[in-house]
Structure 1
Amino acid sequence: MGGSVSCCISPGESPKIRRRDVELEECPFTAEDVSEDTGTYLQHISDRELPDELAQEANPSDHAKASTLFLNKSQTDVREKRKSAYTNHISPALLTKKYSSCSTIFLDDSTVSQPNLKNNIKCVALAIYYHIKNRDSNRSLEIFDEKKHPLSRDKVADDYSVVDPEHRLIYRFIRTLFGSAQLTAECAIVTLVYLERLLTYAEIDICPCNWKRIVLGAILLASKVWDDQAVWNVDYCQILKDIAVDDMNDMERQFLELLQFNINVPASVYAKYYFDLRSLADDNNLGFPLEPLSNKRAQKLEAISRLCEDRYKYLNKSTLKRSLSADNLFGTKISKAVLS
């Protein structure tokens, strides 16, 4: 996941989306925030981390072993669905699930390295839905309040802060942004990581009054971190016609500050979120579409398997050589003692 993160806007055109010529002021980042006590020394994020046990419990978006927040939020509803299905003696998954046999093997086209875009957006939207539905409270910040910072000129409803959005509404909002900005499925997973990291670090809740702006801020940041040719803030202003660039810049800046500028997503954390999203899909009968394994795809999988096997053997051999050379280097030599 390459690319640098900045809230600065260039007056030129985005590599992805054509837009009008707009004169914008840059938002410079300077090194003036360094305190006099520390001089030129900037404390690294890892220096501020909690002990392992506390950190894993408090920051699941930073540690691979900690359970994701959205999966925990969904468990209450999942248990109720299973209880209802058990009472009616019908399993909802049995109605749509396909099973592999000796003659036919069913596979989906989503992998951890190449996720399916549409289905992963649906899963991320479902995860956000459970975050809102099963939130602990309504803790929020002004920068994310849609009433104070509207995304459109349409009047915000009076009950905007109490009516929970449906899964379809969240999905359409995310799909519109991803489709217009041409973002990838991997970016959707990183978006969810940043969203949960924000909730943990800032100690706030995602609720009806702030979910759109929190999701927008997470998408904006994830697209810049993940994609080498990132969509610029002004492009999102063309997708959401009525939002100002200054508002977008300010939201991104505060989002980064609330994350303590920790935008790193380890591969283990990314994989955990991917597989937990698949578990969420299975629990909610939102399985990925399955297709019979074709001869062409079977040959491709076999070739990939052989390539991985060859690399594994090569790594084993090189590791063994290094181990032997180290033994020779640090081997214990026995010599007779000379007594005077």
Structure 2
Amino acid sequence: RFHEMKQTVKYGSSLSFPSEATSVDSWLDAIGLEKYKAAFQGFEVQDLRTLTNSRLRELIPADGPRKRWQLARKELGFNLPESSTEPKLKFNSTSSLYINSTISVPCIDEIIFCVSIVIHDRVDEGEQQALVSGRDVANIFPMFDVKQKPLFHQVDTSSEAGIFQTIKSIYAIAKFSPECLVISLLYIERLRSITGILLLTSNWQPILLAAMVVAQKVWDDSSLLNVDFTMICSAYTLKDINSLEKRFLELLEFNVSITASLYASYYFELRTLCEKSERPFTLKPLGDEERRRLEQRSLAFKDELHQQRRWRSGPADVVSR
């Protein structure tokens, strides 16, 4: 029966992978990697939890099967050892958002679509939790309250289409690398994990803007200046952008470093979401050189922020360039 299901479900879809395993051999059979049984001889199911990426490359040298193995392991509920303290990216929406786009490399509309769905889920979760708690949670982090300064007028901030349009409007002018959208989402999830902040209709726009400002500085060689974002979001002055970014970094504890494996976990979750929605996801995974570059640049930026924090008045002296 599982063999039949594998024929109808697209590669990479979590629906094709079991959520439980009684033995490594039977699990490899179920995920279509039976040819690697010999490599995993002697392994117990719990050993899959602590298997590192470097060791996995030795056991499964080919990129395609190795990525399939990693996606399947996530369905068992095992976190990657390298990012065990980071929040896992999960999504619940069955989107009705329609995008009319042609396939390019990469197709930015599809990437924005995926990020929009995740943010919409987070906002739904946040509004429900705020309603249950009965507290005015927006006042806990007033610097992110968008009521006085919305990024864009006449945008429904509670809908998937409104979130999509907001991100698309920023990207259409900023033109930063598509990878910055993945990194932005990663920073937002890290912020939620560290601070417990709820994404709400009243705050997700400034939080997203701050994440984008930081992400493109970490990834892009020729990043935008903070003053450039005042032309994209005219309601915000340079002082507003600097203050927003400074507070965002403080709440992140200046931890902007990203491991290649952590980026990959977010990338594949987004790709799987797109595949479930029967949409193409043409953004390519990072190559070896790009993975090294991401880790080196993000760690260097983190170190720079900490150094400026110790010796100057604050990170805005560096990041508001």
State the TM bucket, normalised to the shorter chain: 0.5 to 0.7
Any idea what SS the aligned residue of 1:287 has? Answer: coil
Aligned to 2:146: 146
What is the percent sequence identity of the aligned residues?
A: 29
1:287 to 273, 279, 298: 279
The residue identity in structure 2 corresponding to 1:145 is D
What does 1:64-103 correspond to in 2, within 5 Å? 64=83, 69-71=88-90, 73-74=91-92, 77=93
Query: If you compute each CA radius of gyration, which structure gives the higher value, 1 or 2?
Result: 1
Any idea what SS the aligned residue of 2:129 has? Answer: coil
Instruction: Check the 8 A contact 1:224/1:231 in 2, yes or no.
Output: yes
What does 1:113-262 correspond to in 2, within 5 Å? 116-135=107-126, 137-138=129-130, 139-140=137-138, 141-151=141-151, 165-262=158-255
The residue identity in structure 1 corresponding to 2:231 is Q
The residue identity in structure 1 corresponding to 2:240 is D
Compute the displacement of 1:61 (Å).
Answer: 11
Between structures 1 and 2, the one with greater helix share: 2
- Structure 1 residue ranges without an equivalent (≥5): 1-51, 53-59, 82-91, 93-107, 158-162, 291-340
Supply the distance in 2 between the matched residues of 1:258 and 1:286 (Cα, whole angstroms). 36
The residue identity in structure 2 corresponding to 1:288 is P
Compute the displacement of 1:121 (Å).
Answer: 1.4
Instruction: Check the 8 A contact 1:62/1:266 in 2, yes or no.
Output: no
Structure 1 pair 289–265 and aligned structure 2 pair: CA distance change class (3 A): closer
Supply the distance in 2 between the matched residues of 1:170 and 1:240 (Cα, whole angstroms). 15
Structure 1 pair 117–63 and aligned structure 2 pair: CA distance change class (3 A): farther
Instruction: Check the 8 A contact 2:115/2:270 in 1, yes or no.
Output: yes
The residue identity in structure 2 corresponding to 1:124 is V
Supply the distance in 2 between the matched residues of 1:189 and 1:289 (Cα, whole angstroms). 13
Any idea what SS the aligned residue of 1:134 has? Answer: helix
Supply the distance in 2 between the matched residues of 1:194 and 1:228 (Cα, whole angstroms). 19
Instruction: Check the 8 A contact 2:149/2:235 in 1, yes or no.
Output: no
1:59-100, CA deviations, whole angstroms, 9 ceiling, x for partnerless residues?
Answer: x899545785441x41xx55xx9xxxxxxxxxx9xxxxxxxx
**In the comparison of the two structures, how many residue pairs are matched?**
190
Supply the distance in 2 between the matched residues of 1:262 and 1:239 (Cα, whole angstroms). 26
Larger relative contact order (C-alpha < 8 A, sep ≥ 6)?
1
What does 1:318-333 correspond to in 2, within 5 Å? none
1:222-271, CA deviations, whole angstroms, 9 ceiling, x for partnerless residues?
Answer: 01111121111111101112211111100000000000000011110111
The residue identity in structure 2 corresponding to 1:187 is C
- Structure 2 residue ranges without an equivalent (≥5): 1-49, 51-78, 97-102, 131-136, 283-321
Instruction: Check the 8 A contact 2:190/2:252 in 1, yes or no.
Output: yes
Structure 1 pair 66–282 and aligned structure 2 pair: CA distance change class (3 A): farther
Instruction: Check the 8 A contact 2:274/2:281 in 1, yes or no.
Output: no
Structure 1 pair 210–173 and aligned structure 2 pair: CA distance change class (3 A): same
Using structure 2 for the length normalisation, give the TM-score: 0.53
Instruction: Check the 8 A contact 1:70/1:131 in 2, yes or no.
Output: no
Instruction: Check the 8 A contact 2:87/2:190 in 1, yes or no.
Output: no
Any idea what SS the aligned residue of 1:260 has? Answer: coil
Aligned to 1:98: none
Instruction: Check the 8 A contact 2:150/2:205 in 1, yes or no.
Output: no
RMSD: 3.2
Compute the displacement of 1:137 (Å).
Answer: 2.3
Structure 1 pair 245–62 and aligned structure 2 pair: CA distance change class (3 A): farther
Supply the distance in 1 between the matched residues of 2:243 and 2:190 (Cα, whole angstroms). 19
Aligned to 1:298: none
Instruction: Check the 8 A contact 1:62/1:269 in 2, yes or no.
Output: no
1:15-67, CA deviations, whole angstroms, 9 ceiling, x for partnerless residues?
Answer: xxxxxxxxxxxxxxxxxxxxxxxxxxxxxxxxxxxxx9xxxxxxx89954578
